[in-house]
Structure formats: structure tokens, C-alpha cells
Amino acid sequence: MKKNKEKRYAYYQEAFDLYKGELLPEFATDYWVILESVRLKRLYDDVIDFLGKYYKEKEDYEFSSNSMIRQTRFIRITDGRLR
């Protein structure tokens, strides 16, 4: 079980490092881009959730702080609503 968690950690950390934000923002009005962007954002949210819990368990609070700063870069305000 612990080995599986460490393997999951390695994959999730790599996904966290690779994620750069919204998919193809220049095509953000294309239906397929919207669907894929939402799917990827949800996966990224799962990654953040797992890594946050993982680092909390390891008592490594620096990650939590850095990841929250990074995540705020991806929040956009549109029509007065957060998305």
C-alpha cells in the first residue's frame, strides 16, 4: 500500500509540474477545447488535493504554500464570476 502511494505521488508530482493552465486559450470558445480544458482542470484539482494531503502527512508545509500561490495564477475572473 505504501509503495503504491509513493508511486502515485511520483506520477502526481510530475502532473503538477507539467500542468501550465488552461488548454489552448486562443481556442477557448471551441466546444471540444472547453470540454477538454474542464476535464484537465478537474484532474489537476485532484492532483492538488492528493499532493496537499500527502505533504501534510509528511509535514512538508512548504509545498502547500507554493502550490496555493501557483494555483491562484490559474484563476480567472470572467463576467464577475470566478471560474
pLDDT in tens, 1-42: 788 999 999 999 999 989 888 899 999 999 999 999 999 989
Q: Is the pLDDT of residue 58 over 60?
A: yes
CA dihedral in degrees (74, 49, 57, 13; nearest 10)?
Answer: -60
What cell was used for 53? 494531503
Q: How far apart are CA 7 and CA 22, in angstroms?
A: 26
What cell was used for 39? 476535464
Write phi, then psi, for 19 (nearest 5 degrees).
-65, 125
Helix count and strand count (H, E) for the chain: 3, 2
Q: Is the pLDDT of residue 83 over 50?
A: no
